[in-house]
Amino acid sequence: MLHSLQLILKRAVYHPLACFRAAIALACLALSTSVSPRFLAQVIDAVSRSEWSSQAIYYLFLYAGAEIFRVISLFVVSRTLSGLGLMVMERLRSDVFSHLYQVDLRTMEALSPGSVMTRAMFDVNAMVDFFQSGVLFTLGNIVTLMATWIGFFGLAPEMASRAFLVFLPLCLGALFLGHKIRQAQDQSREQLATANSRIADYILGMKTLRALAQKGLRYHRLDQVVTEYGRMQFKVTRQYALLHPMISLGVGLMMILWVRRSGSLGLSSTLSLGAVTAGIAYVQLMVGPLTELADRWNFFVNGTVAMARVQFLLDLPRERDGTEEAPTFENLALDCVSYGYEGERRILRNFSLKVTKGEWVGLHGPSGVGKSTVLQLISGFEHPTTGRVLWNGTDLKRFKRTSLRKQMGWVEQFPILLSGTIEDNLTFYGALSVNWKEWEDRLSPFPVAHGLISLRHLRIGEGGENISMGQRQIVAVLRAILSRPRILILDEATAFFDAAVESEVLGIVEKEMAGLTVIQIAHRSTVLSRMDRLVQMTPVERSERTS
Amino acid sequence: MSAASFRIYIQGYIRRFSAPVLIGACAIVVVDCAELALPLILKNFLDDLEDGVQGRTLNQILLGLCIVVVLQTMCRFLWRYFMVRSSTLEAAHLRREFSKKIFRKPIASLGRSRVGALMGLVTEDVEAVRMFLGPGLVSWIDAFFFLLTIPVLFLWLDWRIALTVLLPMFSIPVIFAKNQKKVFSLSQDVQKRLGEVSEYIRESVSTLRLARTFVAESGFIDRFTKKSALLTESQRNLARVQTSLTPAVEVVVVVSTLLLVCWLPFVGLGVVVAFQRYLQRLVWPLSASVMGFFLFQRGAGSDERLTSFFSSEETESLPLKATTHKPLSPIGLQEPAIEVRHLSFRYTEQSAWVLQDVSFDLMNGEMLGIRAPVGRGKSTLLSLILGFYPVERGMLRVLGKDIQDWDLEELRQRVSSVFQEPYFFRESIAHNLDPTGQGLYADAAEFAQVSELVQARSEEDLSERGALSGGQRQRLAIARALVRAGEVYLWDDPLASVDALTAENVLKSIRLRNQERKVAMLYASHLEAHLKFCDRVIHVA
């Protein structure tokens, strides 16, 4: 917990002005809260001595001033802290989000989007409550408690130390319970993430699970995690329910001790009526802060738990990246490359391939033989276990990934479309500026592609439902072409096209990639026949050969 | 007005959990009474101490104190336990209802882009409702008790001072009423933006590879920064109102205290001190009611969204039994297995027709090929046969029964389907193939020529999109469909990414098998090489 607290504080320090303002306002609040009862006492004393004297009026004004000052400080403190919380939250959210784009993809894809979303949204949001409710009340009440004890010890050291003997186990008990609560909270958050990721999984796969007649089974499975989350949430509240009675009991015991002791001693020169009253007041003064601490501790704990969970995202390893800008593509080589998932299964062994500028290379072979892996190696998403990937003769590792990928265009096997219009998909929400007039002319011999360009303002419906798989694939081809790549990589890009459209797409590729490089995975001879060179890949048990 | 419907919902909740809520409320009242009794006991003690009386009286006072402490300790536990427990149970109930509902809603309303909003509903909105039913309701009961008893105590102590002190208090309901609408619309705004940002995160996470491939990271991050700033702005607007209300209430208490001090010369010191103590006591219930007020407004907004979700259209039923299906007795040779007459379909009234006047028969034991150009409705046709969309024009009969008369779960048990782009759940390959965990998939895997993969990696989680190639995914989807023996097979281009040799082998053996078992099969594809295995090929356009 200390570690998460440290992390949050580090983030708060990014905003020194707000921190400074909050600290000053907090000090003002503490000061005015502690002096204003004294001024009131002075007013009462003055009035009881001699009606409304000028002294009484003076103290009355002081009291009013202190109260107004207190309310203003309270206002400034809560506003500054909530502002600080919002700033910390927004920055954290942005940091998390941009970090996601630098994390190693393999690590990233092993996490469920639902769980990442829970962390990046709901856990980040807990920062606001942490500052707005947690910090204010925790800090404020700890300060008040300390002041109360100092006052108590000053009043009657012997009695105070007796009371402290009750207070100490109370604190230890509360800390122990607090620790338990934190653990339970942690588990319940984790369970929430599990439940959320399953919900997201089932919503996304709803069509499949219905088609497979698995509704009952899947509902039951979802219900299990949801129920488990409810159980854990209940565990947290049950432990919370123990915290308050503990405080009541502790403070009550202190009160009984004080009353018994002062009652049996009786009034004397050392124990005045005022002192007994003050003692009672001190014990009672502890009730408020302790209760509030117990109440708001929740937000505090929640914040630290959430921070630890957010930090998990921020600690995900970054993608390996080079430092140099990649030169313009001339040639590419896989030099005796081996590759295997986690070292258990070899997909490639001593595989070599060379592609030079202007060449069209086709990869083919049975599925699962590692064709896609070759493409992943070329684009730097995966790294060879042994061997090297060379770009213009230099190890690919040395170049910045973005400078490599800018020279490549990709068409995936199952293209993912973004929510938005066709244009959004083609230009990545306007990141790419495209002269549509020019492209409409260029693509005029190709009816389907031309049609999609003229329909570019059409919003793609729910999950691309109003656009077919084939049209999706053409969108993917177009978006790869529009970025004007030096190498075009097609991973089974024509698998879903019928002959007419296939030849149209290949026509587009031929027209736009003339003189440039194309690497393509395909099965069909109609596609492979357009390639300059074919590479037949065979499973690693046998030896690879290139033709 | 949603506040009114939320009130009705709360009434229903209290009725459902009447016993625990009543026990909880009683416990709160006991705690509060003990709270009010404590100053009186201490006053007696101090009076006695001054008079020098000791012994029995002291014991009585100690006994009184003990009772107060024990009552407070017990009842503090009781109210928390019962009130919060009920709210947690209610939240669990809402989440369960949510889970049921997503299985019943029409498939069109569960698209990718809705996931974020739905997640917000089940996480944030349910939590908002729970927060009101638990802490919110408690703070109201608490506030209600003190707001009711303290003024009475005031009047009992001195009615003149009471009136002076209570006068400023009347401004509090005015402050609340003035801010009610504002708080409501601001919290609605925050919730809406929360939903948008979560959806954006979810979508971005699942398109990370795409963004990186095209070096479009900065575009995605810029868009996020804008959305995030909008969210923060709306949260800030809400926080502004929130952080002003508590100080506003404090101002009222300060004014009251100052008015009280003015009475000092005219009444006794004891009375003023007592008034002052009780005024201080009022601060907590007042700020508690502010908190309750915010929780109520947030809860009302969330309740509105939840209610509209729960009352939204349902097109499917949910079998509540988790057990796997008993093998259905075959319907027998109904001829034809699928009968389609003049079927036309479009997704919305505005959109173009996807299917127009399609008619055909599919006989048992027949393998019927469907050839359709890109962008035409072969996938739609299969979706209609599975009952994902209502048939508006024309007639569609499956296994001798009109599609509208089928219990969809039973229909889908009899129909075995493979989609063009298969979805796999985030669980092991074994569980994807056979979710019952019995592992009865060896034959199916063998048939789909994927047994090597399944044997080697059956426990591997299918969480990585890149872990399997397209061809492997497709063959896995075929194996999954074959685990259950259906009477009709609907295959939507399931071998497009599979290499020619394997595809041919699979097609040959499925054809043989279906002829033996008299299974009807619709095979949609654009590949002539695959369609040539069909008995007959029709065009759909």
**Which of A110, A150, A140, A111 minimizes the C-alpha distance to A31?**
A140
Task: Report d(CA B265, CA A56) in Å as an integer.
Answer: 11
Q: What is the pLDDT of residues B152-188, one digit of tens each?
A: 888 888 888 888 888 888 888 888 888 888 888 898 8
**B224-261 tens-digit pLDDT:** 999 999 999 999 999 998 888 888 888 888 898 888 88
Q: Which pLDDT belongs to residue B37? A: 83
Domain parsing of chain A, residue ranges: 2-178+254-314, 331-536
Q: What is the pLDDT of residues B381-436, one digit of tens each?
A: 898 999 998 898 999 999 888 998 888 888 888 888 998 888 888 888 888 888 88
Where does A455-545 have alpha helices with state H? 469-482, 499-512, 525-528
CATH architecture of the region A331-536 = 3-Layer(aba) Sandwich (3.40)
Locate all alpha helices (DSSP H) within A110-156, ordered by sequence. Answer: 113-117, 124-129, 136-155
CA distances from B22 to A200, A239, B82, B462, B478 (A): 38, 21, 9, 49, 57
The answer to whether B258 and B275 have CB atoms below 8 angstroms apart is no
Q: Is B263 on the interface with A (CB under 8 A)?
A: no
In B346-448, the DSSP E strands lie at 355-362, 367-371, 393-398, 401-402, 415-418
**B39: its two tokens:** 């100053």
- pLDDT score for A226: 92
The 10 Å CB-count burial string (b at 16+, else e) for A325-346 is ebeebeebbbeebebbbeeeeb
Contact between B124 and B95 under an 8 Å Cβ cutoff? The reply is no
Most confident of A10-14, A46-50, B275-279, B452-456: A10-14
DSSP category for residue A485: -
Q: What DSSP string describes B384-412?
A: HHTTSS---EEEEEETTEEGGGS-HHHHH
Contacts of B527 by beta carbon, 8 Å cutoff, 6+ apart: A498, B493, B495, B496
Measured distance CA(B104)–CA(B127) in Å, rounded = 23
Question: Rounded to whole angstroms, how far apart are CA atoms B42 and B123?
Answer: 47
CB A138 within 8 A of CB A300: yes
Taking alpha carbons only, the member of A253, A360, A238 closest to residue B84 is A238
CB contact, 8 Å: B406 with chain A? no
The Cα-based distances of A370 to A110, A342, A374, A541, B393 in angstroms read 20, 15, 6, 13, 47
**Spatial contact of B224 and B204, defined as CB atoms under 8 Å apart:** yes
Residue B287: pLDDT above 80? no
CATH of domain B338-539: 3.40.50.300
pLDDT of residue A546: 39
- Residues of chain A contacting residue B493, judged by C-beta atoms under 8 Å apart: 469, 496
Residues B109, A203: contact at Cβ < 8 Å? no
Q: Inter-chain contact A495–B497, Cβ cutoff 8 Å?
A: yes
Facing residue for B325 by CB, picked from A47, A213, A255: A213
**pLDDT, averaged in runs of 10, over chain A (547 residues):** 88 92 88 78 74 81 89 90 92 93 85 81 86 80 82 81 88 87 87 89 89 88 92 88 88 88 72 73 78 79 88 91 91 89 67 92 84 87 89 91 90 81 88 87 87 85 62 87 91 76 84 91 84 86 41
Measured distance CA(B218)–CA(B230) in Å, rounded: 18
Amino acid A160: pLDDT: 84
Answer yes or no: do A498 and B527 touch at CB < 8 A. Answer: yes
Instruction: Please state the ipTM of this predicted complex.
Output: 0.87
Write the burial class of residue B240 (CB in 10 Å: 0-12 exposed, 13-18 middle, 19+ buried). middle
CA distance B6 to chain A (A): 22
Q: Averaged over B207-235, what is the pLDDT?
A: 90
* pLDDT for the residue A98: 92
In the numeric block, which tokens belong to residue B385? 């046969």
Q: How is chain B split into domains, by residue range?
A: 89-310, 338-539
Yes or no: say if B371 and B541 are a contact pair by the CB < 8 Å rule.
Answer: no
What is the model's pLDDT at position B150?
84
What pLDDT, on a 0 to 100 scale, did the predictor assign at position B397?
92
Pairing outcome for strands B536-539 and B367-371:
parallel
Least confident piece of the model among A372-381, A382-391, B330-339, B508-517: B330-339
Using an 8 Å CB-CB cutoff, list chain B residues near A260.
58, 62
The tokens 């150009």 sit on which residue? Answer: B373
**What is the CATH class of A2-178+254-314?**
mainly alpha
Residues in B touching A541 (Cβ below 8 Å): none
Does the beta-carbon distance from A209 to B229 stay under 8 Å?
no
Whole-angstrom CA distances from A508 to A112, A434, A444, A492, B210 are: 37, 17, 10, 16, 22
Residue A425: which of B405, B210, B444 has the closest Cα?
A: B210
CA angle A274, A277, A280 (to 5 degrees): 150
Mean pLDDT of chain B: 85
Considering only CB atoms, B49 lies closest to which of A48, A267, A408, namely A267
Q: What is the pLDDT of residue B334?
A: 64
| Answer CATH for B89-310 from 1.10.10.10, 1.20.1250.20, 1.20.1560.10, 3.40.50.1000 | 1.20.1560.10
**Separation CA B260–CA A63 (nearest Å):** 13
Model pLDDT for residues B18-36, shown as the tens digit of each residue: 999 999 999 999 998 888 8
What is the model's pLDDT at position B332?
A: 62
Alpha carbon of A138: minimum distance to chain B alpha carbons (Å): 17
Locate B131 and state its tokens.
């927060």
Q: What is the pLDDT of residue B367?
A: 92
pLDDT of residue A458: 85
State the pLDDT at residue A408: 93
Evaluate whether A547 touches A534 at the Cβ level (below 8 Å): yes
Total count of residues recorded for chain A: 547
List strand residue ranges (DSSP E) for A357-431, in order: 360-364, 386-391, 394-395, 408-411, 420-421
Q: How far apart are CA A541 and CA A159, in angstroms?
A: 84
Q: Is A160 exposed, middle or buried (0-12, 13-18, 19+ CB in 10 A)?
A: buried
